[in-house]
Amino acid sequence: MDYDVVIVGGGPAGLSAAIRLKQLAAEAGTEVSIAVLEKGAEIGAHILSGAVVDPKALNELLPDWKNMGAPINDPVKTDIFEVLGHHGSISLPTLFFPPLMSNHGCHIVSLGNVCRWLGEQAEALGVEIYPGFPAAALVEEDGAINGVVTGDFGLARDGSHKDGYQPGMELRGKYTLIGEGVRGSLAKQLIERFDLSAGKEPQKFGIGLKELWRVKPENHKPGMVKHTMGWPLDGKNGGGSFMYHYGENWFRSVSSFTSTTRILSLALRGFQRLRASRFRRPGRRRRLSLRRPSRGGINAANSLPGGLTVSAVRMAPLGALA
């Protein structure tokens, strides 16, 4: 299957890139064929994150998003930043924080719902989206990436073919955008194949735990955002937590930790201590998942000569391609 552009990853970055490319093609009076591959069963299936979204980039991408049914309805009303200790906490005034740490004018959203909405907008523009098709390998010819190959279906645990086996499809594109997120399988292949980490600081990663709660009405504080740092972490491990109240009695809690040793056990133990001390079971937990944030910073970012990095910054869809 041949396309002008093949995008791997149906997250905010990949979908926004597809939308913007369709817009640019329409402005130029031409047609461009775009395919988006998403490993989840549907767009947004693997995105549990709540997010505080700065609508600046969305205003540029889809200026009429408010009238287009975007699931962005909860403006930030209360912004709290606390330093936790063993026996209490100190609230810091956010008035003197730099703009990057200010949530004024932002909205609390379910990023999964935002991605589903972006997928609808992309399909309305003619983008072909294929959920349930993970990309397994790159198509390389003469040192250039010309597409991807999806994974095989119908394989047994030992690798043998079961009834209904289907080999992976090859999707070829003049341009291939990799937007898998942190530690994507194709991104790792690209880094190794083209030695993209040469001359860069080693990348390091943290681990985060996310929970989605349906809270009691008396515990619900619409529009409240709280960020914390400090306890239960020590001086050798960085990280913190953030909590959002939004929608109809929904509450998201996320704890993110960076550790040099035993990172998973540290994160689980720290999250349990933080929840037991601060949350006091605010309602009924609906979902729990993990996340893998990158912590290496700009000095560890890989460079790709002649290529394009697609990512979502501050959960604001599409900045670089706008």
Domain limits of the chain?
Answer: 2-64+113-201, 74-107+203-291
Once rounded to an integer, what is the mean pLDDT over residues 129-157?
Answer: 84
- pLDDT score of 90: 84
Under DSSP, is residue 27 helix (H, G, I), strand (E, B) or coil?
A: helix
CB 236 within 8 Å of CB 258: no
Query: What are the tens digits of pLDDT across the range 219-246?
Result: 788 888 888 887 777 766 677 777 888 7
Mean pLDDT of 134-161: 83
Q: State whether residue 210 is helix, strand or coil.
A: strand
DSSP string, 256-300: EEE-SS-HHHHHHHHHHHHIIIII---EEEEEEEEE--B-S-GGG
pLDDT at residue 209, rounded to an integer: 75
Q: What is the pLDDT of residues 246-272, one digit of tens each?
A: 777 666 655 555 544 455 666 667 667
Q: Which of 143-152, 170-179, 282-291 has the lowest mean pLDDT?
A: 282-291
Q: What pTM was computed for the model?
A: 0.83
**153 is written with which tokens?**
């279906």
The pLDDT of residue 221: 82
pLDDT of residue 98: 80
DSSP 8-state assignment for residue 56:
H
CATH code of the region 2-64+113-201: 3.50.50.60
CATH architecture of 74-107+203-291: 2-Layer Sandwich (3.30)
Q: How do residues 56-106 score in pLDDT, each as one tens digit?
A: 889 999 999 989 989 988 888 888 888 877 777 788 887 777 877 788 888
199 three-class SS: coil
Query: Minimal CA–CA distance to 34: which of 138, 125, 143, 165?
Result: 125
Supply the mean pLDDT for the chain.
Answer: 79
